[in-house]
Structure 1
Amino acid sequence: MANIQLFSTLKSAFLPSTDAVNGAGAPAYAMTPRHQLAQYAATGCLHATFYANAEAQLSAVTGLCSQLDSAFIARTAVYFRERGYMKDMPALLTAILANARAAELAPTFGRVVNNGKMLRNFVQILRSGAVGRRSLGSRPKKLVQAWLNQATEAQLLSAAVGNSPSLADVVKMVHPKPAEAWREAFFAWLIGKPVDMASLPPLTRAFEAYKRDRTQPLPDVPFQMLTALELGAQEWAQLALQGSWQMVRMNLNTFARHGVFALEGMTKLIADKLRNPALIAKAGAFPYQLMAAYQAASPDVPMEVRGALHDALELALGNVPVVMGKVVVCPDVSGSMSAPVSGARGTASSAIRCIDVAALVASAMLRKNPETLVLPFEVKVVSCALSPADKVLDNAAKLAAQPGGGTNCSAPLAWLNQHKVHAELVVFVSDNESWVDARRGASAMMAEWEIFKRRNPKARLVCIDCAPNASTQACERDDVLNVGGFSDEVFKIVAAFAEGKLDGRHWVGEIEAIELPVA
């Protein structure tokens, strides 16, 4: 009889050897420069993570961009602004295009800088010197002027909320020359110059009138402009009704403190708003944002409203794929997954950790594919009883409560091989910093995957990375997909890959397919 161990060893010898070192100092596979930029754009937050500080991320991104053509940088910026709903990284990539005087700057700016917050981000990054300059330059200045001269009054008021720089600072930098009288009056009002109130546009005029006379109707302006005016319960209720979906999600505890839910009918109105499918889609809500709101809701927030958050979460998970055949999901519950998913921002750090995202993905896959096998892992596979009938948030909480340990990405595959499990799709959600199973040659994860493939020749492996990394434990090939991020776009990519609809370039190919005409 053939020596199985010998032939297994020989077969693994044909696997590619690792060629990089990950953040934990263990062997890994380097991603291509394009794939690395995509990974940083999908998960990078320009704030400290478990293995990388903000400066290291910035240095990595600028270094990668120096190796890549401007067309790919532009498509990456647009892809992750429009489909990944990212903010800082698309603004940084657009600023890099500005510094390089790239032909793609104008169309990229037009799609990335789609609100006042992004405009201020773009200006801040250029002025900081992070991309090699401390001035806007003529082309970026004209683009900013054009945005200011084309934005609606509502967009300008929204942009006026925030500092470093403020919109007033931006106006003083670029000196826009408005064609309309109302816009000229607005800019004068914004920077504190004397202005005839009658010449102001309607929303701004209503705001000034309300400040002088509280019997006036509550103006439809960003709520941050009103919070210093000591509003009562009725006024806060009106803000809840006219505010955006995201504004309402983020201010539930504020509404509770100001007595909004004690007003007749307000609990139902707010709950209906939160579970409205059209508003959820328009907001581009991340499932983890709803998890954060649910976890942060105080006991004073009514159960009906908390229930609406759960309903909204189920709707936000609409893109989780239903996969034919057996699915295995492996959430990483190791110690490094305790880092905030959007990086350490001091007191502004998100309460949602990488482990929460992993648990949410696993729970959602279980809900849509009830026969899914969930294998949480750290040094080894850990036991955690989950039911597809339970609420997604309840299952996610069980997974996230697992004790952390070292990271061993090969452990779930070794478990599947030991138990001779058959499956069509295996999904990992991890920060990819495996070190317990460090070895020479091919990674332990690839060696175990090769064994798994002998029993399951049509199986596919997906590695979802929730941290800004430049390496992986599973090298990219036809049956292996490495994808980063935590928006619903990731689920779409997984679904397409599971159905064999991605070309050989996989995730990078999706970015390269972005249409970006250049005049």
Structure 2
Amino acid sequence: MRFNFTFRKPKTTNHAGAAAYLLTPQLELYAAVATAALSDQFYEKADTRLSRLRELVARNDPAFVARLAVYAREQLYLRTVPLVLTVELARLHRGDSLVSRLVARVVQRADEITELLAYYALANERAGVKTLNRLSKQVQKGLALSFNRFDGYQLAKYDRAGQVRLRDALFLVHPTARTPEQQVLFDQLVQGTLPTPYTWETELSALGQQAFVSAEERTTAFRRAWETLIGSGKLGYMALLRNLRNILEADVSAGAIEQVCATLSDRFAAARAKQLPFRFLAAYREVLLVQSGYVARVLEALETAIGHSAANLRGFAADTRVVVACDVSGSMQQPVSQRSKVLLYDVGLVLGMLLQSRCGHVVTGMFGDSWKRISLPQGRVLQNVQEFYRREGEVGYSTNGYLVVQDLLQRREVVDKVMLFTDCQLWNSTGDGGTLAQAWLDYRRTVAPQARLYLFDLAGHGSAPVEVREGHGVALIAGWSDKVFDVLEALENGGSALTEIEKIDL
């Protein structure tokens, strides 16, 4: 079998100043969306990313943009960036109901109505709520449909102070109530008389405002409150994850802990919660800080929970030879958002270790100044991430990703798949001129012609260190969700990330 082992010359440079390859407008928009927290990153400020998103929307087909917005909301579990895509599409697209249908599809929480309107004002250079009276008819129609879906609990829970209130949105959109009962809710929203919803936040907030005779009385009250909340089943999955440390420090009963662990470990509960995998790592690290005899039990439940993320991963037989390489360079030491303690580096490790947990024949390691293989047991995803985290300084903080493939070349080691979890901003700090593109060309030409290289882009800066072409065995997958594994499966079946997006039914 003959292969054309020739790469086109790079046509751009990345943020590190190294030669890089441009992505197609579709692939660039997908990567930018899948990794968008719309907060400052190492190489790119939030307003720069937003400007680039707006430009890319204009360069892509409206139907693709709409499908991508739905994909980002429903498959990648993102909230803000689908609203941005929707508003930008509304500014450019006319003549059919695409925008109204998209608005109704991506607005899935009541507060997303006000978020969309706040961004609409920004994107259209409107100052304040009063200037929104010339709202796009298609946006107005879609938001009216959204209003009809929310009950009193949802409206009250998300009626928050901000640039746009739900009351303002109601006046702007003028939804028609479907029932007399819904009209009552709309009237209560206008008058500010919606009943305060019962949530775990309101329960604990009320308790926190009480005066207690002693610290012991306060501790007892909070322990009973947590036990009541856990027993009621009203504490959602995300709330459990975020409050594991509080629950343990409240010294709740063994029965309450078992109920918490059973919920966390439940495959269907985890799937319904749609948590990004790195959320489990954040919870795991908080639990490690607690002095409690139940810590080991909770950590085990978290390991089980995150294991569900890759349980259905296909395309990895027992004899499939895989290399999982995680970028731990300086640019990866960047929080995924302003309010998060989780770094891009952590996201790469979590996804890499999830992948490792499903492979029968796998080499794992990390790269910075150097590339180092690290053998870790399977089945302990979060524990393995912590071990990588402990050892990351052993390879330095440069971006010499080409060393991963160069190592395979020197060993003459045949593998089927090479997985790089990276921000794709690779740069050779050694001065020897080596690049990932050249190393990959040499490896496929002389060692493993059938090998495939998968770039898991965790930052979406718009370029790649290797030309992304099927003929060269190179594919790009972007995002922080376990849905990257669905794209991986699609690639195994001759598809791509883009074909997964095209499957979305509008």
What TM-score comes out, normalization by structure 2 length?
0.86
Q: Which residue of 1 aligns with 2:140?
A: 141
Paired residues of 1:333 and 1:400 also in contact (CA < 8 A): no
Q: How big is the alpha-carbon RMSD for the aligned residues of Structure 1 and Structure 2?
A: 2.6
Paired residues of 2:314 and 2:489 also in contact (CA < 8 A): yes
Aligned residues: 470
Tell me if 1:512 matches 2:502: yes
> Residues of 2 paired with 1:177 and 1:334: CA distance?
54
The Cα shift of 1:462 comes to 0.4
Q: Which residue of 2 aligns with 1:428?
A: 420
Q: Which residue of 1 aligns with 2:214?
A: none
Which amino acid letter does the alignment assign opposite residue 366 of structure 1? Q
**Is the partner of 2:476 in helix, strand or coil?**
strand
Task: Pick the aligned partner of 2:120 from 108, 122, 126.
Answer: 126
Paired residues of 2:25 and 2:59 also in contact (CA < 8 A): yes
Which amino acid letter does the alignment assign opposite residue 414 of structure 1? Q
Q: Which residue of 2 aligns with 1:496?
A: 490
Which amino acid letter does the alignment assign opposite residue 361 of structure 2? E
Paired residues of 1:24 and 1:435 also in contact (CA < 8 A): yes
The Cα shift of 1:296 comes to 1.8
Alignment deviations for residues 280-339 of structure 1 (CA, whole Å, 9 cap, x no partner): 011112221111111122415632223211211112232444513211111111111111
Q: Which residue of 2 aligns with 1:107?
A: 101
The alpha-carbon distance between structure 1 residues 160 and 225, as it changes in their structure 2 partners (threshold 3 A), is farther
> Residues of 2 paired with 1:481 and 1:162: CA distance?
44
Q: Which residue of 1 aligns with 2:213?
A: none
Alignment deviations for residues 448-498 of structure 1 (CA, whole Å, 9 cap, x no partner): 11111121111111000111210001111111101110211111211332x
Structure 2 unaligned runs (5+)? 209-220
> Residues of 2 paired with 1:243 and 1:170: CA distance?
29
The Cα shift of 1:20 comes to 1.1
Q: Which residue of 2 aligns with 1:6?
A: none
> Residues of 1 paired with 2:359 and 2:254: CA distance?
41
> Residues of 2 paired with 1:495 and 1:357: CA distance?
20
The alpha-carbon distance between structure 1 residues 308 and 130, as it changes in their structure 2 partners (threshold 3 A), is farther
The Cα shift of 1:434 comes to 0.8
Q: Which residue of 2 aligns with 1:228?
A: 205
State how 1:43-442 maps to structure 2 within 5 Å. Answer: 43-102=35-94, 103=96, 104-129=98-123, 135=132, 136-160=135-159, 163-193=162-192, 204=195, 207=196, 221-230=198-207, 232-233=221-222, 234-240=224-230, 241-257=233-249, 259=250, 261-263=251-253, 265-297=255-287, 298-299=289-290, 302-303=294-295, 304-321=297-314, 323-324=316-317, 325-340=320-335, 342-343=336-337, 345=338, 348=339, 350-388=340-378, 391-401=380-390, 402-403=392-393, 404-436=396-428
Paired residues of 2:20 and 2:463 also in contact (CA < 8 A): yes
Which amino acid letter does the alignment assign opposite residue 152 of structure 2? E
> Residues of 2 paired with 1:285 and 1:351: CA distance?
16
**Is the partner of 2:419 in helix, strand or coil?**
strand
Q: Which residue of 2 aligns with 1:451?
A: 442
**Is the partner of 2:371 in helix, strand or coil?**
coil
Paired residues of 1:125 and 1:131 also in contact (CA < 8 A): no
The Cα shift of 1:429 comes to 0.4
> Residues of 2 paired with 1:118 and 1:475: CA distance?
38
> Residues of 1 paired with 2:178 and 2:411: CA distance?
72
> Residues of 2 paired with 1:114 and 1:61: CA distance?
22
The Cα shift of 1:361 comes to 2.3
Alignment deviations for residues 376-417 of structure 1 (CA, whole Å, 9 cap, x no partner): 11122135342336x221211122231241111211011110
Alignment deviations for residues 354-375 of structure 1 (CA, whole Å, 9 cap, x no partner): 1112222222222211420113
**Is the partner of 1:488 in helix, strand or coil?**
coil
> Residues of 1 paired with 2:309 and 2:58: CA distance?
37
Paired residues of 1:65 and 1:73 also in contact (CA < 8 A): yes
What TM-score comes out, normalization by structure 1 length?
0.84
> Residues of 2 paired with 1:172 and 1:178: CA distance?
13
Which amino acid letter does the alignment assign opposite residue 199 of structure 2? P
State how 1:458-477 maps to structure 2 within 5 Å. Answer: 458-477=450-469
* Percent of aligned pairs with the same amino acid: 25
The alpha-carbon distance between structure 1 residues 440 and 143, as it changes in their structure 2 partners (threshold 3 A), is farther
Alignment deviations for residues 25-76 of structure 1 (CA, whole Å, 9 cap, x no partner): 2210010111110001100111001110101000100011111221111111
Paired residues of 2:110 and 2:147 also in contact (CA < 8 A): no
Which amino acid letter does the alignment assign opposite residue 381 of structure 2? V
Alignment deviations for residues 239-267 of structure 1 (CA, whole Å, 9 cap, x no partner): 3331221122112233345x3x4246211
Structure 1 unaligned runs (5+)? 1-10, 208-218
